[in-house]
Amino acid sequence: MLPEENHLSLNIPPSGKPRVIIIGGGFGGLYTIKKINRKYFQAVLFDKRNYHTFQPLLYQVATAGLQPDAIAGPLRKVFYGYKDFHFRMLKVLSVNPGANTVSTLAGDLEYDYLIIANGMKSNFFGNEKIARNSFPLKSITDALNLRSHLMQLFEWANLTADKTLREKIMTIILAGGGPTGVETAGALSELRKYVLPKDYPGIDFSEMKIYLIEGAGRLLPAMSLKAGSRSEKDLQKMGIILKMDTIVSDYDGETVTLKNGEKINSFTVIWSAGVAGDILPGLKTEWLEKGRLLTDENCRVKGTSNIFAVGDIALMKTKEYPKGHPGVAQPAIQMGKYVGKHLQDFHKNIAVKPFKYFDKGSLATIGRGKAVADLPPNLHFGGRPAWWIWLFIHITFLISFRNRLLVLINWIWNYFTYDKGNRLIIRPFIRNQKNTSGKIFGADE
């Protein structure tokens, strides 16, 4: 529990150097700080959590493949020994560009430069019922909530002889056919095939239905046609029910309504159908477009002189990327490095070459030995070679050696034993009143 508000203070010492405030400890914020020359700048990082999350593997935490500490690392450890760097675990409440300050529960802090790297949040397109009843997958908390929910459902299914109720319990719907939807669908299919029948021999898991709903005409719309087609075929072979060219238009916690009028009974909707920028109060509306901050080719927010945006929240329109860069880790990493490296040049009004994104390709895994890859300059392939590349890349970009070791050990164990050992219901969880599984197992809302 936090102390009373009037006893809090930010406790940031003056340094005589220009102060850079970074909001968000994701990939963008992380790599910005690593590149800032603290000989010339004081760096202050604000994040509402004290750890960095490797978001591409959240779905494995949610499906019992990994424990959360395998994909997260303490921010203080990352920046141990950094001089004139200060981390404060606080949520930034608002920004005042006129006064060059940010506001937190512990008080306000002035900045000379502000770097916004707080990423995206789930976009429910204004549908409060879907937001209230479905499961987003943007944080470790989200992943743990979903994992508890899924494990409770299987326990609940094991308790009931009502076939209609059991069918509803064992129907899982994923909204959104991007990488998160595809990878989660594949992980659930393998859980259904290899793990759950051993845990619950009294349940026929051939009756478990997994739907993947995508509004576009194909899966992985941000990747190549070949990748989308390959993932579609692989998922269908794995027993995933695909619904294309339609979207989830309503969900009351018990029944999904699709835009085409079809209804599906289910207690579980996993939402990855859209994202929106986590826009802070105080940022001007003219700086925004489609929920993201418009920037020039130096990552500077248009209309400002000392505010930068990096990563998913930045919308930099270029000839190669007229709709902005893809919302994946690499643009955030490269933007962060660019701004951190050139901040001293910006401070001295020295001309800097525009940011140039180097596309290292796109990957998505579908299951054991199944993945798709789009690699430069024009390589598109799938299967086991793509899967090995996916494994290597994801191990490489984890935050620490400990994380890499934990993930590698878990993956090796899962590969040879067909067993995901993280199926503990540590804290029962309930998302909505109509799903009584949480109440049965002692969950609080």
* CB of 376 closer than 8 Å to CB of 362: no
Handedness of CA 48, 121, 59, 333 (dihedral sign): negative
Q: How many CB atoms lie within 10 A of CB 336?
A: 29
Distances from the Cα of 246 to the Cα of 181, 229, 233, angstroms: 15, 18, 19
Quick check: is 320 catalytic? Answer: no
Distance CA 21, CA 41 (A): 10
* CB of 224 closer than 8 Å to CB of 381: no
Distance CA 186, CA 121 (A): 23
Distance CA 177, CA 270 (A): 11
| Active-site residue, from 4, 110, 183, 190 | 183
Sort 290 into a burial class: Cβ within 10 Å, 0-12 / 13-18 / 19+.
exposed
Number of helices and strands in the chain (H, E)? 13, 26
134 phi and psi angles, rounded to 5 deg: -100, 175
In sequence order, the 6+-apart residues with CB closer than 8 A to the CB of 11 are none
DSSP-assigned states of every residue in 314-334: EEE--SS-TT---SSHHHHHH
Q: The tokens of 195 are what?
A: 């793990």
Which amino acid is present at 144? L
CA dihedral 174, 177, 182, 187 (to 10 degrees): 0
Distance CA 323, CA 327 (A): 11
Give the catalytic positions in this structure: 183
